[in-house]
Amino acid sequence: MRTSLNNIKLVDDYLLGLTSPQDNLLLQAKVIINPALNEDIYWHKQTLSLVQQYSRRQLRTEIESVHNQLFTRPEHLSFRQSILRFFKR
Amino acid sequence: MVKTVNREQWLMELYKSAFPAVAKYVARLGGSLEDAKDVFQDALVIYYEKAVAGNLSANNDKAYLLGIAKHLWFRKFNEGNNTSALQDELLNIADNADEHVSNSKVLQYLASAGKRCMELLSALYYDKVSVKDAAEQFGYAGERSVTVQKYKCLEKVRDTVKQQSLSYADFIE
């Protein structure tokens, strides 16, 4: 892989806690030589956090769609009625 | 463990088997259907993340989901009171999902401009799909191609996030 991708792999492994002590030393050395790498680490972290948020939204959308199916489709009528019964007073 | 393709079906089964008990519990304590829905959906997110991470030992989906939902309900109606640290740790998972509202513009952008990369990264990092399965799912020649693509995507998304963030002043956390 080209150098920039190898650096991304190193940063990714580091942020995921997969690096060995030697790798950590290597990363520290690289940061000293190239301080811009610190910025890459920051943005990489933001990226992983965005991937998580993106994924959770997708999951929540699917969950909501399942809920809507259960509460609108005719084949789920008895399920729906059994739930609604709990909330009648 | 859970393949994305089957996920909706898996969620449907969990909904049908576990939601009635949660609804009954919430109703008995004076909550509404909307309350039951909220805590159950948060519980499903937590449950899913634990399942794909391999952190579930029990096979009783229903009991586990009810347990999480009860904790969530308990906290929802005891806000202000101090709950135990363990519960807080558990529940933070669900809470975090809707934070970072300021990131929504960047997310919106990525969902359209970088959809394929986001889907791949989502499968690998969130759904914990193996590289081998991801190759099949996304139509790559092999594991090596997926790995290279993963790093290319990380680079692309990272650069996009950086660029977009600097143009949206509201992004910086």
In this prediction the pTM is: 0.83
Question: Quick one: what percent of chain A has pLDDT higher than 70?
Answer: 99
Residue A71 pLDDT? 97
**pLDDT grade, residue A25 (50/70/90)?**
very high
The torsion angle over the Cα atoms of residues B159, B161, B164 and B166, rounded to 10 degrees, is: -90
Is A25 within 8 Å of chain B by CB? no
Separation of CA B82 from chain center: 26
Residue B120 pLDDT? 96
CB spacing of A8 vs B19 below 8 angstroms: no
Min Cα–Cα distance to chain B from A65, Å: 9
CB spacing of B45 vs A59 below 8 angstroms: yes
From the CB of residue B133, how many other CB atoms can be counted at a distance below 10 Å? Answer: 17
A7 neighbourhood in chain B, CB within 8 Å: none
Half-sphere exposure of A50 (CA within 13 A, CB side): 33
Burial B39-58 (b: 16+ CB within 10 A, else e): bbbbbbbbbbbebbeeeeee
pLDDT, tens only, A44-83: 999 999 999 999 999 999 999 999 999 999 999 999 999 9
Average pLDDT over residues A39-45: 93
Interface residue ranges in chain B relative to chain A, Cβ cutoff 8 Å: 7-8, 11-12, 15-16, 19-20, 23-24, 27-28, 32-33, 37, 41, 44-45, 48, 97, 100, 103, 106-107, 110-111, 118, 121-122, 125-127, 148, 151-152, 154-155, 157-159, 161-162, 165
Which of B19, B45, B126 shows the shortest C-beta gap to A83? B19
Q: Tens-of-pLDDT digits for all 173 residues of chain B?
A: 444 558 999 999 999 999 999 999 999 999 999 999 999 999 999 999 999 988 887 678 888 999 999 999 988 877 645 445 445 555 555 444 444 445 777 888 888 878 999 999 999 999 999 999 999 999 999 999 999 999 999 999 999 888 887 776 554 44
ipTM of the complex: 0.88
CB spacing of A54 vs B122 below 8 angstroms: yes
Is A89 within 8 Å of chain B by CB? no
